[in-house]
Amino acid sequence: MDQHWSALAHQVEAWQRDEASKVYLDKNFNYELAMIALTCKDFDRARFFIDRETVELLSKWKNLTKLTQIAQHILVQKIQKIYETKEFLSTIKSEAVLPRHELLPLVTASISHWTQREPNSAFDQVSTWDDLLTARSLFLDLYSFRLSDDLATSLKREHLEDIRAILQVQCAKGAFKMGLFDASDRYLKKALVLRSKGASSLKIVGPIIKLKSEQFKTEALNMGFREKSEKLAKIVDVLDNKMREAAGEEARVEVKGLMLRQQLEKKMLNVILEEVRAEESIKGLKQYEEGLTKYLGKTFATLGEIFEKVKAAAQYDDQMKKTMAKTHYKFA
């Protein structure tokens, strides 16, 4: 990847020697020039370009009327990219004045905020998500380079890898909501590759499986009963395997995994019941008996596990008391 950034930096340097190309780049690509400067670890130049991008955005905003809502949103969606770049540059600048033990909490807080900030799936273009992903990956690499093993120790090396995967899952969710199913799959595959090998991490696998089950709703429209049931059974089996690997994780994560499993088992029941309703002969119903019995038993067994886990955790976790109440309400 480094050689591609280096090749791009050389190409941009060549363009900037041509006056017309330089004017065009300076007018339209300040954010991209800031990213290229960061790959060269030229933080002052990156700061210069991102400041100029801010000025350009404000200048364009002043010239818009209230009626140009689409144009306004195109500008607004740039704000998050600018903000996160400025936040990164500010944190890096603090390195010169803050001791390492004070700087690390700032860095880890900044990184954890990324998992809570998501572009708007209703308005933002998928290119905005890609830009944010690229920038955040670059920031993580630069933080790791500047802070060496201290950052990996502070975050735990596995967690650092999982953050990269979580960011991909974020984008997969957004792409799915926008109806971009191929893009969603691409993000999910990257997430699975990026997640740390040592982590069972239901925090990563759980959302991936949940998203896969949502995708299943769309895919199932063009499937027959056998294909639908086999595909859904595979998703349930993957979740079961990951939950066995995750045994001993914090109670909240385990409960979420169990709830997801119960949702999948109920979904399988619905698939079978749809076929039962469509079946015209009494004899034909016999073929569905085994599946109905199996998944009806499994969904109640899983619900029993949820009750036990939540009940045990509620003794020392007030939040779990609310979860227990919700679980009983859903069952009722």
How do residues 318-328 score in pLDDT, each as one tens digit?
A: 666 666 666 65
How far apart CA 104 and CA 256 sit, in angstroms, is: 30
Q: Are 235 and 209 within 8 A, CB to CB? A: yes
Tokens of 327: 């679980």
What does the pLDDT read at residue 295? 79
Cα distance between residue 205 and residue 203, in whole Å: 6
Give the burial class of 191: count Cβ atoms within 10 A of its Cβ; 0-12 exposed, 13-18 middle, 19 or more buried: buried
For the chain, which ranges sit under pLDDT 50?
Answer: 157-158, 198, 200
CB-CB contact of 171 with 114 (8 Å): no
Burial 98-123 (b: 16+ CB within 10 A, else e): eeeeebbeebbebbeebeeebbebee
pLDDT at site 158: 46
How many residues appear in the chain?
332
* 3 state DSSP class of 65: coil
CB 288 within 8 A of CB 276: yes
pLDDT value for 49: 92
**How many whole angstroms separate alpha carbon 70 and alpha carbon 162?**
35
Residue carrying structure tokens 């079978």? 272
Which DSSP string do the residues of 118-143 spell out, in sequence order? Answer: ---TTT--HHHHHHHHHHHHHHHHHH
- 25-58 residue pLDDT tens: 888 889 999 999 998 888 999 999 999 999 888 8
Q: What is the pLDDT of residue 315?
A: 66
pLDDT at 48 (0 to 100): 93
Angle at Cα 268 formed by Cα 263 and Cα 272, nearest 5°? 145
